[in-house]
Structure 1
Amino acid sequence: MVDRGASALSLPDDWPAHPDPILALNRMGSFDWDLDAGLLHMDARAHEIFDILPEEYDGRPESLSPRVPPAEARRLDTLVAQAIKDGSENYGAYFRIRRRDGTPCWTHTQGYIRRDETGRPRRIIGIVRDATDELRDLAERRDEAALEDDARREQTNVVQLTTAALAHARTVRDVIDVLKDTHGLTHLGATSLVMGLVEAGRIRLVAEGPEGSFVPGTLVTRIDEPYPMSEVVRTLTPRFIESPEEFAAGYPVLWPHITDLRITSAAYLPLIVQARPIGAMGLLYNDRRGFTSEERNILVALGSSIAQSLQRAMFYEQESDIAQGLQQAMLPRTIPSVSGADVAVRYRAATIGGSLGRDIGGDWYDLIPLPGGRVGAVIGDVQGHDTHAAAVMGQLRIVLKAYAAEGHTPATVMARASVFLHELDTDRFATCLYAEADLSTGVVQAVRAGHIDPLVRATDGSCRRVPVPGGLPLGLSAEFGSLEYPVATLELDPGDTLLLCTDGLVEQPGADLDDGMRALTSLIAAGPQDVRRLADQLIDVAEERGGDDDVALLLLRRRGLQSPKAGGRLQQHVAPGDPEALTHARHMIRAAVRAWGGRDRADEIELVADELITNALMHTEGAAIVTLRVLTGPDRRLRVEVEDSSSALPRRREAGESGVSGRGLLLVHLLADEWGVEARGGGKCVWCEFVVGDPGRGGAA
């Protein structure tokens, strides 16, 4: 008998929490329920109505259980929860209690729900009164009939809520959690739940009822064993056990192990999909005997819904296992060790609701050892979250690694990978960042195809985003005929860490990408120095945040070399009309000279190289190729070579009247220890060498 309509109590905001003097005149008790603390404060009149002494009541609603029958308590809990959920301001209900001497009587309560400014319920204040005299024998019988209707409606509502919750269950554990939830099957009166799945002719227990109630030997049982779940699987027929005596007589092997649970009845249901049993479920009761025909029909119907959800969950888990296996097969099985660097890689798969097999994506990382002490670091992301994205990722990773290992420049590696993806005849594109690092000098050449920029953390803990001018994503650049990928040059000092990641580590729903990069930069700056611990911390943050995108992460920390590299080689292409390429070449030369022990002559070498590059760009057509190498022998030398496509040999001459033209080779002659010109196919190479002396001197990295 619930009255939530026009007769609902209207309470002003200043209504006192305990208005005893006001309500006592009307033989009403008051209560104040603190929802945050879980405490239900009652006045003296309320104690009298419930026939409970103050010292018997500790402020917890459960302390009223000796007076409120379990069925009535569940009905009140459902009513209050529904009122809170649907935003109601108040509720009212008649319910039965049992006094200390066992006498049943009627009670009425009305509550007013108070919420904070966010709409969250914080308190319920209201009144309770004795309604026994109000409801006489005829009214009581009518109310009992109404309560039975309410109970039926409650059961129907629980079935509907449970079915709706099961629609979102993705795994077998999700299904079990829904059924064990306080709004699940226990509101149908069940004390506990047991469930088993059919696997290879046996039943494997996946939910064992109350904690500590596991029966030895029942984790995996044969279908022909004398257990109720085995019976319903064999017969495909529900089994309703209506008394302890019936349970003991029907299942003498099982009953002695569960007598402590005080089971009074049970319902075992086969879980059937397409006429095939996939498992069985048991509902155990300790406060009822027997089942009405309506209750049996409800449980059978609910069993069918549970079976469908379980089948869907089992399919999902199978698809997920396949997808994760494919993802792991496509990623590198091991990361090669790199002399001069500490490396850490991590991958986190997204978890996306909805279609099966969608918690897999095309994110990948790779580390490619290259000749001359160099290493290539790759991070990328193929569009999509499915097995097709993973398959495309695997192919793209392999060809990109092959192009890099062939010795192509970073820009060429990226362009060829884009053409490959375009010719793959797939509708997917990919973002990618490729960084080629010379660990002896710390020079890093990076190209970017629609990917997010890399980050560098210095030895002092500071972290910065490194802008890399980028081209179109792989596949799209080939489709639109725009295969130019500018090369950015950056320097890693000993102890610096280069971080490459996919956007799953940065992007958050509703947040700006730049804000995400700033947050990541701060997180890295505050993180541990060790790259493995830092990688673990970053991936833990991604796990806590969740999200519907994968995360791939690669960290490369340059270690300080014990001695300068005995031999090495760096090369840079400088296109005409590209001032940034010239700047990158200067950075490369400066860093390499210092790392290779030529710090004392760094300014001279950089000036001469700059003059040679400028002459090549001004007096020839096409790009200049700058090569810097270490020569070992009686004298340790650094050799600078500038190659162009013109066969015309340069000649040294005096500077013109303006003092500008003609000074290039004069500087080379004055500053270099040796220099010369070599023919190279259709072009030439102007070279010069500088003695740098003992490799132990001069600022080696």
Structure 2
Amino acid sequence: MGSFDWDLLTGRMTMDEGALNVFDMDADAYDGDPASLGSRVLPDEGRRLDTLVAQALKDGSDHYGAYFRIRTRSGTQRWTHTQGLVRRDAGGRPVRIVGIVRDASEELTESAARLGLDEGRRQRTSVVEGTTAALAHARTVQDIIDLLNDSQGLEHFGAASLVMGLLEAGRIHLVAEGPDGAFVPGTRFTRVDEPYPMGEVIRTLRPRFIESPEDFAASFPVLWPHISGLGITSAAYLPLIAQARPIGALGLLYSGDRTGFSADERNLLVALGSSIAQSLQRAMLYEQEHDLAEGLQQAMLPRRILDVPGTQIAVRYRSARLGRDIGGDWYDIIPLPGGRVGAVIGDVQGHDTHAAAVMGQLRIVLRAYAAEGHTPATVMARASVFLHELDTERFATCTYAEADPATGLVQIVRAGHVDPLVQDPDGTARRLPVDGGLPLGLSAEFARLDYPVTTVELDPGQTLLLYTDGLVEKPGADLDEGLQWLSSLVKRGPRDLQELADHLCDVVEERGGEDDVAILLLRREGAHPPQSGGRLQQHVGQNDPEALSSARHMIRAAVRAWGAGGRSDEIELVADELTTNALMHTDGGAIVTLRMLPGPERRLRVEVEDRSSALPRRREAGESGVSGRGLLLVDRLSDLWGVEPRGGGKCVWCEFVTEQPADRAGTD
């Protein structure tokens, strides 16, 4: 037997000769540092002793004691016992430990000690391994809650009942309780300052071990009457602490013959509480990042899709749910001049908030280029240059389709993206091969900005399916197999376009996957009955009076031939005003186009296109002014009018509703 004196302020431990003999250590081999004893104490025993001493210093205990094993210089092991008294200053801070160590090999037989030690270690290892393995698969807070609510969760802890609450805005929200029937009414939400055990451990940041029913009844008289019928004999309430702040509390309630907690059991429960807290914090951070990225991406996607006459459109976005965050998938529908529509599907490289941010910028500029009237190939090339010049290393795949619902003509450009599908009215779906170029960003980097254009024609009832690769990529299967699977899925799916879009998302959700998915379906509706009339166009040079006179003659002849009736003079006046305005205020000539629009009513459209991007301005002419009345006339005489960008210039247009044939016959 020997003694020691441990100065906690300096860290030095003085040991007398007897204590050194217990550790089988020479005086010249010990330098006063407790770490020097590490070569004698077995590793597992050393960690257990450290935890025991730390807990005694933290919980205000004035003494501790423990058995442990050491290894002598000869390699044999023997049992040793230590007792320590903790001395504290006036403020309660521990400053010194004095105690004894003694040889306990005669006190404990090796076999009995080994049996108890091995059994205790086996139980501790089983609980730790089981809980850790279960928490390793939990990605969200709900996963952890489901684990603790499960009956197997109670088996991990050896408890009869379990409760867990999360700290939310100064209140404790009870999110898990088990088994069924253990919930105490009125405790779903409680304040931290209320007299409940979870509130106490959150306030003090210290575990609360309740040793007996009497201890429970005396400590928490408000709660005890509600749970006394459950046969609870002891309980452990643990604060869930992450990054030095409480995030909740865990309560384990025991029944039967179980009373009290040994030092090892307390240490074990504290360690498990810490593991659960770390898992909860990880899940909370994951959900916050996921929600942030998903919110960012949803904000970047178009809030609503405009109705486009002559088409049905359905769009969907499904975020990734396994292993990754939100990605850069997007869709867009762009109304274009002349009743045409642009359809976009794309995917920015990566699965994070940066990918979502790049996606938003790319979607906006691609929409702007398309709305300016550029051709599909030019839209794609300019978008690639923009992405290349953006401060990012990301690239993007994309497909852009420009469709005219009136004629069914579709021009498609593909930048490294998967081929679209076409569905026939009978449901049959097939792959639509589209010539492609490099992904956006890469084509600009390698100076390969020539994107080929594939032209197809959609018949009434046919559907163009655009999607990102997350829809067809399956583990262990190549892209062709994925496209065949998608074609079969579309064929078996609903005929209604919105229901088909939902069906595709539901199947992908059931299949899981590590990538997000965007879907755009565009169906051409039945064509309107053909109208009498057609389309006429003429170029008018800047200094060509004959061309201007010829254009006026063409307008007059077309208006009368197409049966404009009483609006002939109005149409001729407005068309002449728009043409003259283009010649006077722009450099270069103008292109005058007249055409009858398809639809249930007869509408005649006049378009005057020039090479200037300057928009016309409506001005007040004044009482004696001779100019400034042009747009006033257009506004007063036409039913609709507007201005559209056309790539290198603009187009000013106006529309007139003309008489129906039946009305004209009745008038005659």
TM range (shorter): 0.5 to 0.7
Query: Could you give the per-residue CA deviations for residues 96-143 of structure 1, whole angstroms, max 9, x where no partner exists?
Result: xxxxxxxxxxxxxxxxxxxxxxxxxxxxxxxxxxxxxxxxxxxxx979
Match for 1:402 among 358, 361, 368? 368
Aligned to 2:179: 210
2 CA distance for matches of 1:503 and 1:632?
A: 38
Stretches of structure 1 that go unaligned for 5 or more consecutive residues are 1-140, 572-626, 638-693, 697-701
Instruction: Find the residue that maps to 2:519 and give its secondary structure.
Output: strand
Matches within 5 A, 1:136-175: 146=115, 149-175=118-144
- SS of the residue corresponding to residue 404 of structure 1 reads helix
Q: Provide the C-alpha distance between the structure 2 equivalents of 1:260 and 1:343, rounded to a whole number of angstroms.
A: 61
- Quote the offset at 1:438 in angstroms: 0.6
The 3 A distance-change label for structure 1 pair 570 and 312 is: farther
Q: Pick from 301, 305, 314 the counterpart of residue 275 of structure 2.
A: 305
Match of 1:244 in 2: 213
Matches within 5 A, 1:127-526: 146=115, 149-180=118-149, 184-287=153-256, 288-353=258-323, 358-526=324-492
Secondary structure of 1:174 counterpart: helix
Distance 2:343 2:534 in 1: 19
Q: Is the 8 A contact 2:148 2:176 kept in 1?
A: no
- Over 3 Å counting, the alpha-carbon distance change for 1:570 and 1:242 in structure 2 is farther
Q: Aligned partners of 1:632, 1:221: CA distance in 2, in Å?
A: 68
| Structure 1 residue identity aligned to 2:374 | H
Letter in 2 for 1:315: L
Unaligned segments of structure 2, at least 5 residues: 1-109, 538-591, 605-659, 663-668
Residue 235 of structure 1: CA displacement?
Answer: 1.4
Secondary structure of 2:172 counterpart: strand
- Deviation string for 1:29-49 (max 9, x for gaps)? xxxxxxxxxxxxxxxxxxxxx
1:163: how far off?
Answer: 2.4
- Separation in 1, partners of 2:228, 2:329: 54
Q: In structure 1, what is the Cα distance between the partners aligned to 2:126 and 2:189? A: 34
Deviations 1:158-215 (A, max 9, x none): 2133224424432222223344556645233112221111222221111123223322
CA 1:567–1:530 in 2, change beyond 3 Å: closer, same or farther?
Answer: farther
By how many angstroms is 1:323 displaced? 1.1
Question: Aligned partners of 1:549 and 1:493: how far apart in 2?
Answer: 33
**How many correspondences in the alignment?**
444
Whether the aligned pair in 1 keeps the contact of 2:149 and 2:179 (CA below 8 Å) is no
Q: Tell me the TM-score normalized by structure 1.
A: 0.59
Q: Deviation digits for residues 38-79 of structure 1, max 9, x if unmatched?
A: xxxxxxxxxxxxxxxxxxxxxxxxxxxxxxxxxxxxxxxxxx
Q: Which residue of the partner structure matches residue 563 of structure 1?
A: 529
TM-score if structure 2 supplies the norm length? 0.62
Moved over 6 A (4+): 141-145, 565-571
**Structure 2 CA distance for aligned equivalents of residues 695 and 523 of structure 1:** 47
The alignment partner of 2:297 has SS state of helix
Contact map agreement 2:311 2:523 (CA 8 A) in 1: yes
Q: Does the 8 Å contact 2:236/2:251 carry over to 1?
A: yes
Deviation at 1:514, TM superposition (A): 0.4
Q: 1:632 to 1:295 in 2, by over 3 A?
A: closer
Deviation at 1:533, TM superposition (A): 0.5
Instruction: Check conservation: 2:151, 2:179, Cα contact below 8 A.
Output: no
Q: What is residue 518 of structure 2 aligned with on the other side?
A: 552
CA distance in 1, matches of 2:171, 2:536: 65
Could you give the per-residue CA deviations for residues 358-395 of structure 1, whole angstroms, max 9, x where no partner exists? 41110000011111111111000000001111011000
Deviation, structure 1 residue 427: 0.4
CA distance in 2, matches of 1:255, 1:517: 63
Contact residue 396 and residue 421 of structure 1 kept, 8 A:
yes
Instruction: Look up the equivalent residue of 2:275 and give its one-letter code.
Output: S
What is the identity, as a one-letter code, of the residue corresponding to 2:129? Answer: Q
Instruction: Give the RMSD, CA atoms, in angstroms.
Output: 3.2
Moved more, 390-399 or 194-203: 194-203
Offset at residue 273 of structure 1 (A): 2.4
Q: Do the aligned partners of residues 181 and 217 (structure 1) sit closer, same or farther apart at CA in structure 2, a change above 3 Å counting? A: closer
1:565: Cα distance to partner? 6.6
For 1:570 and 1:169, how far apart are their aligned partners in 2?
A: 67
- 542-551 or 246-255, larger mean C-alpha shift: 246-255
Task: Measure the CA separation in 2 of the matches of 1:278 and 1:180.
Answer: 18
> In structure 1, what is the Cα distance between the partners aligned to 2:389 and 2:334?
24
Q: Distance in 2 between matches of 1:631 and 1:270?
A: 76
- Residues 636 and 695 of structure 1 are in contact (CA less than 8 Å); yes or no, is this contact kept in structure 2? no
Q: Secondary structure at the match of 2:232?
A: coil
Q: How far 1:636 moved relative to its partner?
A: 12
How far did residue 695 of structure 1 move?
11
Q: Give, in whole Å, the separation in 1 of the partners of 2:244 and 2:520.
A: 50
Give the 3-state SS of the residue equivalent to 2:406 in structure 1: coil
